[in-house]
A = this chain, B = another copy of it.
Amino acid sequence: MGSGAFILVLAVALAESIAPAERKCQLNGLWRNDQGSLMEISALRDNGDFEGQYLTRVTLSGGCAQISPLKGAQQQLGEEGWSTFAFTVRWDKFSNATTAFVGQCFVDAGGKETLTTMWLLREAVGSLEEDWKATRVGRNVFTRKRTTKGKILPSLSPPCEDVSSSAQ
């Protein structure tokens, strides 16, 4: 092991011993799920409210997804530092559907953060008689995506066709 690597390990060890509070799960930052969808959660307010952006890789319609706003809330941290959260995503330009997620943040012994979530995806249907088929359910697991600082989700957005032309 070179001395550079050793110093890095030492620094990490020190950081962990100095700041055990970092073992608590922090929702803010950039996350990627098992389907390649990305979300970025902004800093949380004192009451647990947060906002952010979601960029899905998959759509019901097969159309190109735009970055969509998300809004949610985290429960107060329990003694063990685990916390549940819920948020909604508004896909207003490319979909008639709405999604809500619930989940919990976990940190393993090695410091790896995981958000396990389940979601409901609600499509618009034409009448109350069709309501029975409107709701899909699924599960996604997110892990933290390390990045340079700053709001970077827009820069990761795939090249959609021009929005103005999609109105045709």
A residues neighboring B (CB under 8 Å): 35, 47-49, 58, 60, 69, 71-76, 78, 80, 82-92, 95-104, 106, 108, 114, 116, 118-140
Contact = CB atoms under 8 A, between A and B. Distances in A.
A77 B136 CA distance: 20
B138 A133 contact: yes
B91 A75 contact: yes
B87 A73 contact: no
Nearest to A101: B100
Contacts of A122: 84, 86, 102-104, 118
A49 to B, nearest CB: 7
A122 B74 CA distance: 11
A132 B119 CA distance: 10
Given A75-B98, A131-B104, A137-B135, A124 B88 contact: no
Nearest to A107: B128
8 contacts: A49-B90, A85-B98, A88-B100, A116-B128, A118-B135, A135-B137, A136-B137, A138-B139
